[in-house]
Structures are given as structure tokens and as C-alpha cells.
């Protein structure tokens, strides 16, 4: 399957003015055959305005403005929905803060030619995390182990957000119907794909802690994910 010029990278943003221009420049340089959709939650720091300026120089970058801050999951759902309506055949989700490496996008695109879902994995040989302290690493690894155990899946990075999806997967799992928030959204998407018998491949990635800007992680997101995993197990068996 040739995914050139049919792949959309969806990048949610809120107050990413310090990162957005460099990430767009790097993406369009490293993977010129993909399009990029920035989904901005009305950032007060002018993120959307910077994207609009960038769009003037390339037709491969697009902007979807949302009226208010409404969470990562909602941004991805609207971004995927926009891409499905536009006819894209493959989708990649990634952060705007360089925690996900733009150079890995081409690897995900290549793997999507053979797999239905590609998971950028921090916890297999070749994967790594840099810039996190022991506490945050423990929480992340513990959360993944918890989700993997409760849902009885063979995968090692259910909460990670650097993933590739073929169009047929998003249509089959009905991505617009997902109501989970935060990390639970990433878990539920993969779990639905797993239960639908799609081929899921994990590839190692290097995850780097953001250097500028502010993390959006909170305790509420963590606990919501824990409860939603239990609900998924009860709902899908």
C-alpha cells in the first residue's frame, strides 16, 4: 500500500507557541510526503496564529481551531474525524513538544504498509525514555502494566500517544464514539483495535521529556485512566 500523500499527522496543541513552529518545520523537512493537522484548543499564547503563518508557506499543513480547552482525547477525535472526512488513508498521532521524535514518523509510515496499527513503544528493546525521574517512570510503567494485566493484552505501551492507524481501523472501532479522556483514550483505542483482531505492531521509540512549555499531565487524568480500564474490561470481556 502506497501511503505517500495520504497520511495525516494529527498534532493537538494548547499553549505550544514555543514548540509549534520548530515541530512543523522539522516534520515537513523530515517527512515531506505527509500532511499535518494541528488541532488547537484556543491557546491564549498564540499557537494557532503561528500555525496560520506557517500555512502560508506550505499546503501540507492544516489548522483545526476548537473554541476552548477540551482535552487531548477530544482533540484527537476531532482531528481523526476531519481526516476521515478529507479522505486520508492513514493517521499518526503525536505530541507537539518534541517528546515524540519527528524522525520516527517515517518509520511508522513504513510499518503501516504492513500493519493495521503501529504503536511507538518506550518499553521494548531499543525503546527508551530520557529526562524523566524515577517517580514518573514508575507511574508510567506501573500504569502500562496495570492496563496490560487488566485487559489481558500482549502489548507493552498502551498509554503512549505516538501511534499510527490505518483508516479501516478508525472506521471499524468507531473512533468518534470513544468517550475516554487522557491516557485512557490511548488505551481504549488500542484495546478496541485488539478486540477487533487488527494486526498491531510495536516499534521502539525514544521518548524525550519536553524542554520548553508546560506538561498537561494531572492526577485527575491518571485516576480517570485507572477507572476507565476497569470499565473497558467489564464492557468487552
pLDDT < 50: residue spans in the chain: 4, 213, 216, 218
| Whole-number pLDDT of residue 139 | 83
User: Among residues of the chain, what percentage have pLDDT more than 70?
Assistant: 90
Average pLDDT over the chain reads 90
Model confidence over 10-59: pLDDT tens digits?
Answer: 999 999 999 999 999 999 999 999 999 999 999 999 999 999 999 999 99
pTM of the predicted model over 0.85? yes
Q: How many domains does the chain have?
A: 1
2 inside domain: no
| Whole-number pLDDT of residue 223 | 62
Which domain covers residue 36, as residue numbers? 7-236
| Whole-number pLDDT of residue 4 | 47
Instruction: Provide the 10 A C-beta neighbour count for residue 43.
Output: 20
Helices (H) and strands (E) in the chain, counts: 8, 9
Q: Quick one: which of 93, 41, 99 has its CA closest to 66?
A: 41
CATH of the domain at 217: 3.90.550.10
1 inside domain: no
46 inside domain: yes
Amino acid at each position: 500500500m502506497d501511503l505517500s500523500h495520504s497520511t495525516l499527522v494529527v498534532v493537538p496543541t494548547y499553549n505550544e507557541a514555543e514548540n509549534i513552529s520548530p515541530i512543523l518545520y522539522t516534520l515537513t523537512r523530515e517527512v515531506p510526503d505527509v500532511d499535518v493537522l494541528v488541532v488547537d484548543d484556543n491557546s491564549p499564547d498564540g499557537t494557532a496564529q503561528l500555525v496560520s503563518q506557517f500555512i502560508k508557506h506550505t499546503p501540507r499543513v492544516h489548522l483545526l481551531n476548537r473554541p476552548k480547552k477540551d482535552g487531548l482525547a477530544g482533540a484527537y477525535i476531532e482531528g481523526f474525524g476531519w481526516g476521515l472526512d478529507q479522505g486520508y488513508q492513514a493517521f499518526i498521532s503525536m505530541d507537539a513538544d518534541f517528546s515524540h521524535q519527528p524522525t520516527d514518523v517515517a518509520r511508522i509510515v513504513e510499518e503501516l504498509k504492513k500493519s493495521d496499527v503501529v504503536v511507538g513503544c518506550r518499553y521494548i528493546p531499543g525503546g527508551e525514555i530520557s529526562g524523566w525521574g524515577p517517580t514518573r517512570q514508575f507511574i508510567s510503567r506501573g500504569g502500562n502494566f496495570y492496563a496490560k494485566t487488566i485487559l489481558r493484552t500482549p502489548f507493552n505501551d498502551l498509554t503512549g500517544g505516538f501511534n499510527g492507524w490505518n483508516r479501516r481501523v478508525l472506521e471499524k472501532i468507531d473512533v468518534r464514539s470513544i468517550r475516554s479522556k487522557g491516557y485512557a483514550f490511548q488505551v481504549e483505542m488500542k484495546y478496541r483495535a485488539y478486540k477487533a483482531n487488527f494486526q498491531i505492531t510495536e516499534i521502539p521509540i525514544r521518548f524525550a521529556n519536553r524542554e520548553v512549555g508546560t506538561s498537561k499531565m494531572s492526577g485527575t487524568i491518571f485516576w480517570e485512566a485507572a477507572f476507565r480500564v476497569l470499565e473497558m474490561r467489564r464492557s468487552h470481556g
